[in-house]
Copies of this chain bind each other. A is one copy, B any other.
């Protein structure tokens, strides 16, 4: 139920689950040659099922939409219209999504936010709309879905302690 609410909200803002999955695919394919786009889509959906993620999306997208409708109080309205580069609340908010599969998501988030990959670039170029939050939220979603795939892969060894009763190595 609430997954659909979140996915529909993204769709209303021009972002399909598939377009996020394509970013995840580009990020993870080099490390995972057998990766399928469908697995990336499943991973995005798993991220969108998390309540914390949904709540963050509702909040950030509401701010973008209210700015478009000029309903925000000043000076916030002006800051959002200018897409002020020193405004960091969008990055802060996205942090609540990026980390749902661990801090390794931080790297992909920053990279995507800077390089504006795929749908993030499309959003950024639509100058008639306000996407102060949405581009960071989508970068956060893609980063979290990538981290989830990385964790699910068999590429993490089991590292054993020397001995369970033992002393630390030295």
Q: State how many angstroms separate the Cβ of A82 from the closest Cβ of chain B.
A: 7
A159 contacts which of B75, B99, B103 (Cβ < 8 Å)?
B75
Given the known interface contacts A109-B106, A110-B106, the answer about A62 and B160 at a Cβ–Cβ threshold of 8 Å is: no
Question: In the complex the two chains form, what is the Cα distance from A124 to B62 in whole Å?
Answer: 24
Number of copies: 4
Inter-chain CA distance A91–B86, complex, in Å, is 21
Stretch at the interface among A15-23, A34-42, A66-74: A66-74
| Smallest Cβ-Cβ distance to A51: which chain B residue | B86
Complex Cα spacing A56 to B5, Å = 27
The 8 A-B pairs of least Cβ separation, nearest first, read: A110-B110, A73-B168, A75-B159, A88-B103, A111-B114, A52-B102, A92-B96, A88-B104
